[in-house]
Amino acid sequence: MSPIDSGREGVDSMLTDNGRAVEVIGRHVCIGPSRPTCVRTQLGRGDNTRSLEAIHEGLAHAVKRFRPGSERTSGRGAVTAGKVTHVAEDVFAVRLGRGPLASNVYLVGSGEDWVLVDTGWAGNHMAIREAAASVFGPTKPPAAILLTHIHPDHSGSAGELARDWQVPVFAHADEVPMAAGKYLPEYSMPLDRWIVDPILRLLPAGTRARIEAGNDITDVVQALPANGEVPGLPDWHVVPAPGHTPGHVAYLRRRDRVVICGDAVLTVDVNSVIGVLAGRERLCGPPWYTTWDRQTARESIAALAALHPRILAPGHGPARGVENAALQALARDG
């Protein structure tokens, strides 16, 4: 391997023999042909301050673990190792599922801790655990699980993971009533009103109760602090982004304006048939058919635009940089 100048403070870089770029950012080793994506090694605290030679062994281990052929390039230069994509310092996206039902969760490091933001669908817990183990090691549970909102594609595995890891799940106070998994008319959206609730009403009471009990995460969910602080992430802030659901939130890291925005803004078209079928990537408001209040959702997009995000990390579609004018136009017309 040969050292190269990354041009960024605190980032060590080198090229492997086969021309891959390798970076060490904090405790993460990142490998890729252009903009490296992270594969975690077992480097200990302070390794990032060692010389490149001293961490050569750790890098070699990471290169060995990074299986050629497991990478995909999105067309914007982001590189994925397995399911995990490095989207910003200490922020890793995990895409779960395929096609229109795919959803993202985020693994976010801060100091010695990390948190999980959103949990995908029910049954995604093993994939999330594997992805987390590849980034933070197999024995370190998160400090907390944070939800952007309570919908089955974001909170589906929250109960399973929280009970397993013995960690709390946080959602906005206005979202907590949805944790019981019951149909709440005042919280409902078109899909609930037109399809889900009518079907549930056709089922025997016992079956309906079993389904609701399976979605109940009231035993693990608690309200986010009202002061905007994010449990487990002292350098992040809660940004209320209601509309898609009553207590939807985004999470903002101010120093580099990374925004994990759930379904408040997406980067894949979910509001046209062709967009859904083709998986067309474009800046898009929340899916109207699962949105509680569309006008409030538009106001939240405007509020997010006012933060001038540098990277949007949505619940669906790839994390990416965004033109603020495009975000403002979406708030106006979306």
Binding site for Zn ion (CB under 5 A): 151, 153, 263, 315
The smaller minimum CB distance to Zn ion, of residues 40 and 125, is found at: 125
Residue (153 or 192) nearer to Zn ion, CB: 153
Whether residue 247 contacts residue 171, with contact meaning beta carbons closer than 8 Å, is answered with yes
Residue 230 or 268: the one with the smaller Cβ distance to Zn ion is 268
Nearer to Zn ion, 14 or 179 (CB): 179
Select the residue whose beta carbon is closest to Zn ion and give its number.
151
C-beta closer to Zn ion: residue 25 or 301: 301
Least spacing, CB of residue 317 vs Zn ion, in Å: 10
Contact 22, 15 (CB under 8 A): yes
**For Zn ion, the closer CB: 63 or 93:** 93
Rounded Cα distance between 170 and 263, Å, is 17
CB of 290 to Zn ion, least distance (A): 5
Q: What CA–CA distance (Å, rounded) separates 174 from 169?
A: 14
- Angle at CA of residue 220, ends 218 and 225, nearest 5°: 95
The minimum distance between CB 35 and Zn ion, in angstroms, equals 26
Q: Which amino acid is at 69?
A: G
Show Cβ contacts of residue 64 under 8 Å, excluding neighbours closer than 6 positions. Answer: none
* β partners of residue 84: 81, 94
Closest distance to Zn ion from the beta carbon of 152 (Å): 8
Q: In what order do the strands lie in the sheet with 237-240?
A: 237-240, 249-253, 258-262, 311-314, 320-321
Q: And the tokens for 171?
A: 């959602």
Q: Between residues 90 and 153, which has the closer beta carbon with respect to Zn ion?
A: 153
**What is the C-alpha separation between 37 and 80, in angstroms, rounded?**
6
Closest separation in Å from C-beta 104 to Zn ion: 9
Q: Which is nearer to Zn ion, 40 or 151 (CB)?
A: 151
Contacts of residue 86, defined as CB under 8 A and 6 or more positions apart, other chains included, come to 28, 30, 36, 37, 38, 79, 92
Q: Which of 143, 157, 313 is nearest to 232 (CA)?
A: 143
Q: How far is the CB of 244 from Zn ion (least distance, A)?
A: 5
Whole-angstrom distance, CA of residue 209 vs CA of residue 188:
18
Q: Which is nearer to Zn ion, 20 or 151 (CB)?
A: 151
Tell the smallest beta-carbon distance from residue 248 to Zn ion (Å).
8
What's the min distance (Å) between Cβ of 118 and Zn ion? Answer: 8
Give the 3-state secondary structure of residue 28.
strand
Say how far apart CA 91 and CA 38 lie, in whole Å.
Answer: 10
Q: Smallest distance, Å, CB 263 to Zn ion? A: 4
Put residue 107 in one of left, alpha, beta given phi > 0 → left and psi -120 to 50 → alpha. beta
